[in-house]
Amino acid sequence: MNAGLRCRAVGATLVGSVRTEVAPHGPRRSSAGVTLVEIMVVVGIVALLAAVAVPSYRQYTIRAHRTEAKAALLRLAANQERFYLQNNQYSLDPEALGFADGLSEQGVYTLEIRTDAGVTQDWSATATPTPGGGRNGIDQTVDTECTSFTLTSAGVRRATPLPNGANDRCW
């Protein structure tokens, strides 16, 4: 036996002057990367997480953008009272109350003002999603839980439709 080469009793063979290791189940393969199966498992897990996360995130953003309607109605109420103090009547024109084109700040909601007993008595303002979305690209017409928000001069807050306590969830 060559003095420069050593052999182990099990699993080592000497072929010429080259030493090779033999695993108990055949030659040992080096694992220098990942297999296609491993990549597909990772892709499947990522797809599953995305399938769960994207709808949840979309619902979160819809709820978050409802604040524009609520903020616009509360600002409109404050401006109505200011208008009433100066003119002894309420305004039915959102533009006179500081809402350009009758839209909320980003244009996501369209504002409408009505009266039941006359402009000297009361008002009711409704914010509905603007078809096509606002200036920020947000389209709230996909919000089926809270399709419109209403605030009255008496401070009554409503959201429609009203199934299963939507008023509490919307406001």
Q: Write the CA distances from 129 to 92, 97, 118, 139, 144, integer angstroms.
A: 19, 19, 26, 7, 11
HEC string for 49-85 = HHHHHHHHHHHHHHHHHHHHHHHHHHHHHHHHHHHHH
Mean pLDDT of 23-46: 80
Mean pLDDT of 6-34: 58
How do residues 86-105 score in pLDDT, each as one tens digit?
A: 999 999 999 999 999 999 99
* Length of the chain, in residues: 171
Instruction: Give CA–CA dist 107/100, Å, rounded.
Output: 9
Domains belonging to the chain, first-starting first, are 64-170 (3.30.540)
Mean pLDDT of 127-137: 92
Instruction: Give CA–CA dist 46/52, Å, rounded.
Output: 10
Beta-carbon contacts of 103 under 8 Å, excluding residues fewer than 6 positions away, are 94, 109, 110, 111, 130, 134
Instruction: Write down the mean pLDDT value for the chain.
Output: 84
Q: How confident is the model at residue 145 (pLDDT cuts 50, 70, 90)?
A: confident
